Structure 1
């Protein structure tokens, strides 16, 4: 069982992706459908996937749930709702009532885009995170290295919530910078209620000239501090296509985990995602 724990889809004729700006991201300004991903994933032995939100709007989540209810590899959805709403519990319940609502397994917000580096520490946000936990869902942390301290504080103060850190906290791979990211990641990993995705590294590296060696110090640090039992592979398709195709991402992750035992490797590439997202595959 191989699970891709992080990918996206979007249709620009349905809605804009406002984060796709500038010439560097221009290759992403087209439609990316599950029908394009599925054969690439299957060719790499991927048997199930987790699709993740990209915009701050519930309607996209409704559509992703319907996608999970149909044919194809999508087994779980990480969606979006406004954590700061007083009725966030009701909104989560409403999403669960939508077609495919049983596939809702997590919530995410683009905290990386919030100007306040301590957005996760706000009282209204924390209230929303507790509602996510009460609904039996995980919350995905999409943060930059400067926001990792707030993530550590939040995870520590909400021990009843389950968290997943996306993209290893987006370390500055291209610049070769490790601190304070490495120390903050270790602080986060010391908390038992958070897992980490081995994803998104190729687009934090030099898109045109990255090597597995460039990624290795960051991946190995994450595997050391979280241990293989709390690391999940994710492709971050189609964002990864800025730097690598789907097969290259899978092969890079396989090489980065080459020193693991067979049991540990299986956990990173499937077992851990099955546990985190409550998948019965």
Structure 2
């Protein structure tokens, strides 16, 4: 089964979704399961992992409600304040929902380069393992050093890098990102999503050839058994459509064995998130 390991739902509100700028206005509207269901039918996708897009407990509950009503939503990645002093109580509550697989914080939006290494945040990460929750790392390349230190500190915690850590594709920056991604890939508790790549390039003029070296580095660093296909729908719509987004990955991995392709397109997500 093809599993999309990374997509979002929202009921659009201008203030809440202020990050959707004028260049992205095509996604200034509601995106809900009934919309995605049609996209998946057209693209042969059997299920997905829905990921938080807003940093509130209400967002986590919103996704849980959608997952309860839609069988194709196989898992959700919610948000909790990992820095909270009552984090254990909060996680204990959420551990009663089978489709809630893990959490994410929008670390890319934090000004502090070392946000993930602050004692209160580390305390929250330490609490995840007890409840078998995963953690999605959403960062920019300048935060990769902190990410490396984080995954090194928690060798038994399951981590996944979102959107290949958002390298500055548009500017062609590669080397610094590549060195740190290789180092992170050496830690077997860390996976990486082949997602969110076209939106880091020029929305209108990106080419598969431009993105391929980055995907190749991720494949070399993590191996076929630790990378996951993700669409980042509906955000991907600002740089193309779902089919183009999926084909960027399927065409790239066509050189691999059928077992490796099946793992990247669904098997790894099922295993990582325990779907």
Q: TM over 0.5, yes or no?
A: yes
Q: Tell me the alpha carbon deviations over residues 86-125 of structure 1, each in whole angstroms, 9 at most, x when there is no partner.
A: 111111222334xxx2100010000000000110111110
User: 1: CA distance between counterparts of 2:41 and 2:5?
Assistant: 14
Q: CA deviation at 1:251?
A: 1.1
One of 192, 195, 198 as aligned partner of 2:191: 195
Per the TM alignment, residue 26 of structure 1 is displaced from its structure 2 partner at its CA by 2.1
Corresponding residue for 1:123? 119
Which runs of 5 or more structure 2 residues have no equivalent in the other structure? none
1:68, 1:77 within 8 Å by CA — same for their partners in 2? yes
1:250 alignment partner in structure 2:
246
Aligned equivalent of 1:87: 86
DSSP 3-state at the match of 1:232: strand
Counterpart residue number, 1:6: 6
CA distance in 1, matches of 2:70, 2:51: 17
**Structure 1 residue 176 and structure 2 residue 172: aligned?**
yes
Deviations 1:114-163 (A, max 9, x none): 00011011111011001112110100000000000100000001112110
Q: Please tell me whether the aligned partners of residues 169 and 211 of structure 2 are also in contact (alpha carbons under 8 angstroms).
A: yes
Q: Relative to 1, partners in 2 of residues 1:92 and 1:189: Cα closer, same or farther, differing over 3 Å?
A: same
Question: Separation in 2 of the partners of 1:125 and 1:59?
Answer: 20
Shift of 1:72: 4.0
Q: Does 1:58 align with 2:54?
A: no
Q: Residues 156-193 of structure 1, C-alpha deviation per residue, up to 9 Å, x if partnerless?
A: 01112110000001111111110200000000001111
Matching of residues 253-268 of structure 1 within 5 Å? 253-268=249-264
> Match for residue 231 of structure 1?
227
Aligned residues: 275
Query: How high is the TM-score relative to the length of structure 1?
Result: 0.95
Tell me how far apart the structure 1 counterparts of residues 107 and 179 of structure 2 sit (CA, whole Å): 20
> In 2, Cα distance between the equivalents of 1:71 and 1:7?
14
Q: Within 5 Å, give how 1:26-41 maps onto structure 2.
A: 26-41=25-40
Structure 1 residue ranges, 4+ long, deviating more than 4 angstroms after superposition: none
- Report the RMSD for the aligned CA atoms in angstroms: 1.3
Instruction: Please tell me whether the aligned partners of residues 33 and 70 of structure 2 are also in contact (alpha carbons under 8 angstroms).
Output: no
User: d(CA) in 2 for partners of 1:137 and 1:204?
Assistant: 28
